[in-house]
Amino acid sequence: MTRVLAAGDHFVAPRLFDTALRGEPGLPGDLDVTHLTAGWPTEPFGPVGTGDSRVEEASGTEDDLVAALDGVRVCLTQMAPFTARVFDASPALEMVAVCRGGPVNVDLAAADRAGVAVTQAPGRNAAAAAEYAVGMALAALRRIPLAAAELREGRWRGDFYDYDEAGLELDGATVGLVGYGAIGRIVARVLRAFGATVLVADPYTDRATAETDGVRLVELDELLRASSVVSLHARLSDETRGMIGARELDLMPDGAVLVNTARGGLLDHAPLPEALRSGRLGGLALDVFDVEPPPEDWPLRDAPNVVATPHLAGATRQTAHRAAAIAAGEAGRFLRGEAVCHPANETARNAQGVAS
């Protein structure tokens, strides 16, 4: 019997994994798929495990996962906590297909030690996150949430038509994108359709790609000085953590709008209240935070020029189905004895699957 665990949650549900996997051709006839459901997003994700056996942005418990993995050879998941302890306790496990762009809920070194192949799902939420980032920029530039809230309270804010209070357009604006992966490239395409000039700061993007896409590759400081809107799309790492702080905010034009739908850790949040009060920032749009959810005393909770949403950029049904399909495709390739397309660790890069 070929046992597979669909370890989903309330977004990428186990049934989505199950249906997508059963649509793969050439799978073993003795396939047995069991389900496990973690609490996310009803329960926030976070670190799971202790000491050296710890992973980030995970949902569920090590004990529940170990119990569900008994005899399982392949697992499809989004948030399950694959710590060193879980790998040590799951000797039958040979492959984990993670339906995220970065499998931060998996200890990749422990997976390699255990000989378990791990794959990922780059671009699964690129369209959703890109659309959301542009929507957040528009919301902040035109103060759409504030105007809607005021109207609901019975206040007709005709003063927003005053010249000094009026919003700004994307057409003709210079927009800077910090990070230019799958999401950033879609954002750039949409912004150019609006008529914006797009600058990009990304050390991993080559000039030829930027020129082909119709954007201009520049250093971060030049981007900040020139952009009336700055949108963050970098992956969080030791290199990028806190990359936009007080110095960088001071480089931006007065009244500029800052958008972060990537990761809260990219921003140093401490100088943001003063930047907003002083007018250095004309608007701030956040879908991610340094602490999620923000505490009750979050200083920006009532700021009128802040648009804040609870980490929803990737929350579309299409993203859930796409994520499940990418993970199922990787699991299918592995079970057929084929090389996987999106390896996340050395074992997956070297694997030829488990077909006999």
Catalytic residues: 263, 292, 311
50 bridge partner residues: 53
258 bridge partner residues: 230, 284
For residue 310, the number of C-alpha atoms closer than 13 Å in the C-beta half-sphere is: 9
The values of phi and psi at residue 250, to 5°, are -65, -20
Alpha-carbon gap, residue 184 to 104, rounded angstroms: 21
Hey, what are 282's tokens? 């004309």
Whether residue 273 has a cis bond before it, omega within 30° of 0? no
The values of phi and psi at residue 58, to 5°, are -120, 165
Radius of gyration for the chain, computed over Cα atoms and rounded to the nearest angstrom: 22
